[in-house]
Amino acid sequence: MASLVLGIETSCDETAAAVLRRESDGRGHILSNLVLSQTQDHAPYGGVVPEIAARAHVSHLDGLIARAMSEAGLRFEDLDGVAATAGPGLLGGVIVGLTTAKAIALAHDKPLLAVNHLEGHALTARLLQPCAFPYLLLLISGGHTQFQIVAGVGRYRRLGTTIDDALGEAFDKVAKLLGLGYPGGPQVERQARAGDPRRFDFPRPLKGRRDCNFSFSGLKTAVRETVHGLGSLSPQDVADVCASFEAAVAETMADRLRMAVALFREAHPEVARPALIVAGGVAANLKLRSVFEEAAAAHGFDLIVPPAALCTDNAAMIAWAGAERLALGLTDDLAVAARARWPLDQNQPPAYGAGKLGAKA
């Protein structure tokens, strides 16, 4: 049976609302997908300020939902479900979106779908094209860096995660150190194009380890020490630091990918041609994209990277995850609580040495 679902995303610094239709055969159609970025609000601070983010969600969410419904040509009565991010994320922002979804669901007697933000990323590829379970997911964003085997909706096995900082955060911190502005990932990538990736020999964290975990704090420290040692930075210095940092990340990612695809093959030898899904905002980096392409080709995987607009935080992915859950009857009670931390694979303990972000992932 086809379903119409409203999605709401407020886990960090994007206020987003979307409406989509999931056909009975599993095909998806985005009817509207609106994202209001708060980048300018947070840029002076070099990162996201939770209180500013939450206040912006309160100010803009109702109007954005109205616009999304109008663009889709629907009334609330037409919906089959209301989905919202219930975690993980900045708790104040998550509460804003989830409370709004509860109000709409209650007022119009619609099922509520409390979606794990990470599951939104994990299932986005199925919105765009046929993608059979199981598949290998690499999620790389500002808050998460992890490998998951996606065996089905709500069925995940974590292969590796960050034990300290997420990759997107590492890009942002390097950009801030170099005075490049926020968000840092695109700024670092732009500068790296004019730089020499061999000038600075930055470490490749955990390279060669027989697991799929990540660590970026030591790499960030090496970059900071190099920058402080240079003193006054020329434009070429900045470009070379960015290029050398990006090269270290790419080599590290290639090494971790080799382990992840091997572990996936061990777990699912019956899958002749599995998919490698790369999601999250860092997936847009072109240097890393070449690493993903080479790894997929070398190991017999089909690479699927959603368009940039569906890799960064958006509400279409939340609506889609909600629609997938609704098709299985996985609805939620209105008493469901917002969660700052919510791992996809709840059977795995936090990675050894993991800090706040690692434990969340």
Query: Does 135-308 match 3-128+312-342 at the fold level?
Result: yes
- Can you give the pLDDT at residue 336? 98
Homologous superfamily assigned to 3-128+312-342: ATPase, nucleotide binding domain (3.30.420.40)
Looking at domain 135-308, its CATH superfamily turns out to be: ATPase, nucleotide binding domain (3.30.420.40)
Sheet holding 3-9, edge to edge: 28-37, 14-22, 3-9, 81-87, 112-116
Question: What pTM was estimated for this model as a whole?
Answer: 0.92
Q: So what's the pLDDT on residue 358? A: 35
Specify the pLDDT at position 38.
Answer: 82
Domain boundaries, given as residue ranges, for the chain: 3-128+312-342, 135-308
Name the residue with tokens 């030591």: 218
Interatomic CA distance for residues 99 and 35, integer angstroms: 19
Q: Please write down the HEC assignment for all residues of the chain.
A: CCEEEEEEECCCCEEEEEEEEECCCCCEEEEEEEEEECHHHHHHHCCCCHHHHHHHHHHHHHHHHHHHHHHHCCCHHHCCEEEEEEECCCHHHHHHHHHHHHHHHHHHCCCEEEEEHHHHHHHHHHHHCCCCCCEEEEEECCCCEEEEEEEECCEEEEEEEECCCCHHHHHHHHHHHCCCCCCHHHHHHHHHCCCCCCCCCCCCCCCCCCCCCECCHHHHHHHHHHHHHHCCCCHHHHHHHHHHHHHHHHHHHHHHHHHHHHHHHHHCCCCCCCEEEEECHHHHCHHHHHHHHHHHHHHCCEEECCCHHHHCCCCHHHHHHHHHHHHCCCCECCCCCCCCCCCCCCCCCCCCCCCHHHHHC
Residue 104: per-residue pLDDT: 98
Mean pLDDT by 10 residues, the chain (361 residues): 96 95 96 90 79 91 98 98 97 97 98 97 95 96 92 97 92 94 90 98 93 94 97 97 97 96 97 96 91 96 94 96 98 97 87 45 39
